Structure 1
Amino acid sequence: MKRRADIVIRDAMLIDGTGSDATRGDLAVVGDRIVAMGELKDWAGAREIDAEGLAVAPGFVDVHTHDDRAVLATDMTAKLSQGVTTVVSGNCGISLGPVPGLRDVVPPLDLIAEGRGDLFATFADYLAALDARVPPVNVAALTGHTTLRLATMDRLDRAATAAECGEMRRLLAEALEAGSIGLSTGLYYQPANAASTAEVIAVAEPLARYNGIYATHMRDEADLIRDAMEEAFEIGRASDSPVVISHHKVTDPKNYGRTRETLPVIAERAREQPVTLDVYPYAASSTVLEARRAASVDRIMITWSKARPDLAGRMLADIADEMGVSREDAVARLQPAGAVYFTMDEDDVQRVLKFPLSMIGSDGLPHDIRPHPRLWGTFPRVLGHYARDVGLFGLEEAVRRMTALPAARFGLKGRGRLAEGAFADLVVFDPATVLDRADYADPVQLSAGIKEVFVNGRTAWTGAAPGEERAGRVLRNHDLAPKDFESFAA
């Protein structure tokens, strides 16, 4: 008598997520768990999948997203079609809550919220809405410092008072109690740039009590990047919390090559305190359209504009020429708006990707009219372009950056590895053909080679369309494992 499973995947290249060499074998799933791996001749599945020539890996973890509203409002095709089964939202200081009372949405919060109606009075309300809707992917959510400032301060162009820091601290503690996994900052952006280091430390105090993460879009990623890094490390030490440096990069031509300087510093600090980073595999960034960068960045592409939605996908220089105005004046006419900034060097991108502590995060903006291609292509680009074609690292190492490494760093218990008893978050892909198709000219394109994706044992992606059932879960702070910064040390 054969043992019964819901799904048996046969004759696959099993990549377990740890960086170990792939093995050939079968994998069985019952309910939401992997129940057996190896040669499973004595197992029969209600559904049997022939995976000859294909790889099976743990579902990918996108550690840096702005999917806060997308997990409520969309089918998450952009992520499921890449093999992503878990997203970390609430990055760069912006989350959809907590915002008690009526508050206007300010940039960069407008990247994820169209208006007041998208905001939640408490973080518990946001997570409850996710539970009720059932997200297509698993969601672990950070609380944004900028959102806390918006909720408590009458003006955002100054440092918070002691009383305001106390109120932000209270709101953060409530959010962590409800299930937030930590605090994020976007100190680069104007609504938070006026915040002092002392303010962030004061607000971050509850993190240690809740095993929370501190993730930061640092104050500077150009000339003053070393100062910004030291500030991030100081906040982590003072709050006794792990530090995640968001989308690590150096920008502007005069700083090209400085990752040779920054990465050794991160490696050194990681031996002294819990520190890690994420990176996206592109040499261009994307965020709100800013006048202060209009004159200094040569190539800027508009991704959305409330005033002129017809100009999405056009270059700012061409728009300014047609309008007969300066770039700064063109920016003013397009506001509010978003843009792609071509300000990075490919050698730096590859150097950060190759760094052993680097996790993969898309940083995609799902509500842009013409988004940066990273929204649709990040994970297949790492697997196909950088691992297979460029040879930056092996396939197993590429998968590690997307699975076991982030699962350890964020405490995603039972996820990120192929192992008996682990959650059946799985991606079936073709190592020979997997590749991103999204580009700057046509950014909304399905990647090649992703055959099937399972979230908690349910079919979430069929190779051409999402599954019929939403099977994601909210991964609350108190359900997570302790953060592991010892494994995969630098």
Structure 2
Amino acid sequence: MYDILIKNGEIIDGTGRPRVRMDLALRKDTIVEMGTAIQGHATATIDAAGSIVSPGFIDMHSHADFSLPAGPADSLTCQGVTTAVIGQCGETPAPLLSDTRSAVIGNYQTQGGALPWDRWSDFGSYLNYLKESGLTMNIVSLAGQGTIRAGVMGYSAKAATPDQITAMQAQVEKVMESGAFGISTGLIYPPGSYATTEELIEVVRPVTAYNGYYFSHIRGEDHALLDAVAEAIRIGRETGARVQISHHKVCWPRNWDIQEKALALIDDAIAEGMDVSADVYPYVAASTGLSNNLPDWAHEGGKPAILERLSDPDTRRQMISDMRNDWDGSWEKVMISRCPTQPEFEGRFISELALSTGQEPEVFVFDALLSADLNISVVLFLISENNLQQVMSHPAVMIGSDSYGFTMDGREQMGLPHPRSFGTFPRVLGRYVRDLGVIPLETAVHKMTGLAAQKMGLTDRGRIASGLKADLVVFDPALISDPATFENPFQPPTGVRHVICNGEFVVHDGYLQQHLPGRIIKNSTASRY
């Protein structure tokens, strides 16, 4: 007797090998049999004729750590994501240290997250809260270097003292003992960006005792890209940490021609014997908070100091000068995606809004940030389609949504979040595999499953084989697509028939289920479970 029997499907097993027609039998959370004509009774039988059966997708870059405490990540589950690597870009909801707790929470509340902050303090209690709340997917966690630095030093731009570095190292050891897989950085986001390379090397060094990872939103994705990639590789080389370069891209047209040189740096590091890879999302637009366009120095001291600077005419003039000198972009390509205080701004570009008010774009930005208490998100159209396809095709590149998880029942339909939250994985399979032929289907599935599992050391997931965990997606390769758009993002993908996590349906016949079979996957070398 089986729990689930999947018949007549074409199996793409996650290794990159060609598909094969085969049946699968599941019992509890495990694939127990594979064959061409499995006989026997099952509680549920799926006729997968005309469909692909693949391992569940692994999202290599998720910010769902800021949304999961408030509700399920339906927008990821309905795409076929069964495992998400959370804790990215140096910013995580934990650990929270007592002396700086309120300041860190105040900064993260700017991102619009109404979270039950009183339910955790250290990293372990945060993971326990997620486990107790219930999950539709498995969670692999990283801890944010920016959060750790803010916890130890506040929002100071000063160089860390030896004692402060020791304190940060102690926090890294604690999060690794709690089951984190590594440390992430967001080196365009203060206070993490205030760290020198030498400080980062020392802070990351403890993860190597746990065979850990260094994930990095690198220090520059524009004209500084090559130096930033080289910095990430240097940190991996000097610490022994395994390196993942987050959402690899080069921003703004004047810099697009350095893409091949950046990928060559990764190739050289791999040839050297290092474990270096990257991830990408399948869109030509990025998304971030509008306040991140302010100069780095304007963030020192945290949110109260930023608001004070935005109110000072002399400081405004200095910010305008620095922004115009240092930025490669154009306000014509920056669209407001979320502004709760003035929702009429949403879906409109900064240049257009500034023109309508008779202001310089930077002045409009300052006024808008003040009136919104900094709580504005933007989408930036800055990536070359050709470069995107080149990165996606690279053998060391996986897929990551770079997104929060949203519910699909309307509770959180605020603003116009980037459609990558709803369509990343179907978009790869529909637009880039089926429609454009950028990569073969088996290669795409490998990037989303087996390659990601290999990178993260998940030996029991990411492939289809007897004895492995039953994380599976059944999708129609002719129909899979991503209806979500920048104008109307809250649309689920089409063509995803079933999603199974740990042997339970989380999507069945295209409908989200109420099951919560997801698990917290901890670093195998952590001592506490």
CA distance in 2, matches of 1:108, 1:188: 16
Identify the residue that residue 289 of structure 2 maps to in structure 1. 288
- Which sits farther off after the overlay, 63-72 or 209-218? 63-72
Q: Is structure 2 residue 477 aligned with structure 1 residue 443?
A: no
Q: Secondary structure at the match of 2:402?
A: coil
Identify the residue that residue 475 of structure 2 maps to in structure 1. 429
Q: Please state how far the C-alpha of 1:257 moved relative to its aligned partner.
A: 2.7
Identify the residue that residue 311 of structure 2 maps to in structure 1. none
Deviation by residue 1:252-289 (Cα, 9 ceiling, x = unmatched): 11111322211122111112211000001111110111
Uncovered stretches (5+) of structure 2, i.e. residues with no partner: 295-322, 407-413
Deviation by residue 1:47-93 (Cα, 9 ceiling, x = unmatched): 11111101100000000010003222222110011111100010000
- TM-score normalised by length of structure 2: 0.87
> Aligned pair in 2 of structure 1 residues 154, 218: CA closer, same or farther (>3 Å)?
same
Residues 31 and 470, structure 2, Cα contact 8 Å, conserved in 1: yes
Residues 76 and 405, structure 2, Cα contact 8 Å, conserved in 1: no
Q: Please state how far the C-alpha of 1:306 moved relative to its aligned partner.
A: 4.5
Q: Secondary structure at the match of 1:314?
A: coil
Paired residue type of 2:26: V
Residues 94 and 109, structure 1, Cα contact 8 Å, conserved in 2: no
Q: Please state how far the C-alpha of 1:116 moved relative to its aligned partner.
A: 8.4
Q: Secondary structure at the match of 2:140?
A: strand
CA distance in 2, matches of 1:119, 1:113: 14
Residues 33 and 466, structure 2, Cα contact 8 Å, conserved in 1: yes
CA distance in 2, matches of 1:256, 1:294: 11
Deviation by residue 1:26-65 (Cα, 9 ceiling, x = unmatched): 0000000000112233332121111110110000000001
Higher helix share: 2
CA distance in 2, matches of 1:468, 1:154: 40
Identify the residue that residue 218 of structure 2 maps to in structure 1. 218
Q: Please state how far the C-alpha of 1:463 moved relative to its aligned partner.
A: 4.4
Uncovered stretches (5+) of structure 1, i.e. residues with no partner: 481-490
Q: Please state how far the C-alpha of 1:238 moved relative to its aligned partner.
A: 1.5
2:377 to 328, 338, 362: 338
Q: Secondary structure at the match of 2:454?
A: helix
1:277-356 to structure 2, matched below 5 A, reads: 277-289=278-290, 290-291=293-294, 292=323, 296-335=330-369, 336=374, 337-356=376-395
1:404 to 434, 437, 450: 450
Paired residue type of 2:339: S
CA distance in 1, matches of 2:246, 2:361: 29
CA distance in 2, matches of 1:476, 1:22: 31
CA distance in 1, matches of 2:205, 2:110: 27
CA distance in 1, matches of 2:353, 2:505: 44
CA distance in 2, matches of 1:310, 1:143: 36
1:1-400 to structure 2, matched below 5 A, reads: 4-101=1-98, 102-104=101-103, 105=105, 110-111=110-111, 113-114=113-114, 117=117, 120-272=120-272, 273-289=274-290, 290-291=293-294, 292=323, 296-335=330-369, 336=374, 337-366=376-405, 369-400=415-446
Residues 100 and 120, structure 1, Cα contact 8 Å, conserved in 2: no
> Aligned pair in 2 of structure 1 residues 157, 345: CA closer, same or farther (>3 Å)?
same
Identify the residue that residue 498 of structure 2 maps to in structure 1. 452
Residues 280 and 378, structure 1, Cα contact 8 Å, conserved in 2: yes
Residues 75 and 466, structure 1, Cα contact 8 Å, conserved in 2: no
Residues 63 and 87, structure 1, Cα contact 8 Å, conserved in 2: yes
Q: Please state how far the C-alpha of 1:159 moved relative to its aligned partner.
A: 2.4
CA distance in 2, matches of 1:118, 1:28: 43
Residues 249 and 344, structure 1, Cα contact 8 Å, conserved in 2: yes
Q: Secondary structure at the match of 2:512?
A: coil
Identify the residue that residue 302 of structure 2 maps to in structure 1. none
Question: CA-atom RMSD, angstroms?
Answer: 1.9
Deviation by residue 1:412-450 (Cα, 9 ceiling, x = unmatched): 231100000111111010011111111111111111100
* Percent identical residues: 37
> Aligned pair in 2 of structure 1 residues 44, 414: CA closer, same or farther (>3 Å)?
same
CA distance in 1, matches of 2:264, 2:109: 33
